[in-house]
Amino acid sequence: MLFMVCAAIFMLMLDATVVTAALADIRTQFDASIDGLQWVIDAYSIPLAGLLLTFATLGDRFGRKRMFLAGMAVFTGASLALTLADGIVQLDILRAVQSVGAAMLFATALPLLSAAFPEPAARAKAIGVYGAVMAGATVLGPVIGGALVTRFGWRSIFTVNLPIGVALLVLAALKMPEAARASGRRADPLGSLLLTGGLMAGVFAVTRSSVLGWTSPAVLGLLAAAVVLVSGFLAWQIRGAEHPLLDVAMARRPGFTGTAIVSVAHMATLMAATTYLSLFLIGTLDCTPLQMGLRVIPLSVGAMIAAPLTAVLAKKVPISVSLTVTMALVAAGMFLLGGFAPGDGWTHFLPGELVGGVGLGAITAATQAASLTFAAPENAGMASATFGTLRQVGMAVGIAGLGSMFGHVARQQAASGLAAVPGADSVPQDLRDAFVHQVGAGSGHQVLEAVPPRLQGSVPALTRVADHASVDALNSVATLGSVVAAVSVVLAVIAFTVDRGRATRAAARTRLTGV
């Protein structure tokens, strides 16, 4: 059971990040903007976030093995279709279909382990392995993706799923036992629609804000729709739904709010930032996809060491301590990634990757272990899916927010730098716009590979413009991520402190009243 679940999770988490190695080639083949590239990732994250709770409920009700098999079939089929995509829009749509299968698998993974390892000690070890695999796959994605893209092209990152998916499908059908079902639970389609719609509207608003501006009617309308839909989801869960996706009683338990904050924040900051670090390494530091992957491997080293250790120590260290300390490590890692200067090498990022990687791995294991304490065993699917949803919300919002910052700063700096280049006024406007657009999409100085012959004399100056714009954009991402991560640490400390105070007062009342 542990092998099947971990192999499936490895494939899913790999697919969430393996595309970072392919973004540069996808951008080149489809002439994609930074918005289109963001949606290659967010089209995977948003349906995953919106459907996890629904599939967790259906898995608890109709059988987790059935849901696992259905998810593997959908995921593998979508991977086949992705190998044939011929445009950025088609690619983004198929990524969304792939995420439906991923949601089915994610929703059943941890509950299957919980049922297979009922003894606390054995369960802790299994969750430690699960956390290590999850964290390792997340950060190994760029390495494996880089090797595949360099050798076989970007479509190979999806082709590799086919034999693995088919093998796991057959193995699970033959060997996976069925767990007990929660017969009274039903799905909540309206809740799923409200949550998914709200997330999509919010991410659209953030991605378009860098181009249209925050005060544009389109962006304001999308933000308003996001607020209405997400508010409607919460109201429906609290007062209207007969079988809510979110167990409100679980959300009131001590430690839930602080755990939720950290679950969102670590994905929205360091995990999302690795996408733009990958583009920078390829476009500005001239790494091949494989070289790029190898240069971010320190993240995986730290994560894979920290995850199993954290799972074992989870019972000895309070969640309030472990999660705030590890989130502080993520904040420190984000800070250390910044401050890159023209002329620096890739080793500038090593301290931030190592420190942040330890934080990522520890958070992954700690939140997985914590999620199982907020619900009864028969509702383990809902509990784990709730935090899985929060992680994907963080990833989707982080990709959009940091990408908006990256694109805005890169375009602004490229435009001002281009205007200062001697003779730039004589360059046709469409060529200047194309230059700014490509730098904003993360091309770095690779944009100069298509420079017209009559502008060859300006290549050194244009290279400096593209490099400085990309450096400023990446540093802005690191700064924003550092601030968000630091604020998240403070909010988590406050949340855990409030919960501890409530628990102390409740215990005092119990001693006084005897009830």
Q: Which of 27-41, 141-155, 286-300 has the lowest mean pLDDT?
A: 27-41
Q: Which of 173-177, 243-247, 419-423 has the lowest mean pLDDT?
A: 243-247
Q: State the pLDDT at residue 513.
A: 67
* pLDDT for residue 406 is more than 80: yes
Place of tokens 């670090």: 277
pLDDT digits (tens, 9 = 90+) for 158-189: 999 999 999 999 998 888 877 655 555 566 77
pTM for the full model?
0.78
Q: What is the DSSP string of 322-385?
A: HHHHHHHHHHHHHHHH----TT--GGGGHHHHHHHHHHHHHHHHHHHHHHTTSS-GGGHHHHHH
pLDDT digits (tens, 9 = 90+) for 342-398: 889 999 999 999 999 888 888 877 887 777 677 666 566 666 677 877 887 888 888
Average pLDDT rounded to a whole number, residues 255-277: 89
Structure tokens at 241: 């739904």
* pLDDT for residue 220 is more than 80: yes
Q: Rounded distance, CA 279 to CA 142, Å? A: 11
Q: State the pLDDT at residue 49.
A: 74
Q: State which fold the 2-177+245-410+471-506 domain adopts.
A: Growth Hormone; Chain: A; (1.20.1250)
> Domains of the chain: which residue ranges?
2-177+245-410+471-506, 189-244, 411-470
Higher pLDDT, 191 or 186: 191
Q: State the pLDDT at residue 239.
A: 79
Q: State the pLDDT at residue 163.
A: 93
pLDDT digits (tens, 9 = 90+) for 465-480: 888 999 999 999 999 9
* pLDDT for residue 454 is more than 70: no
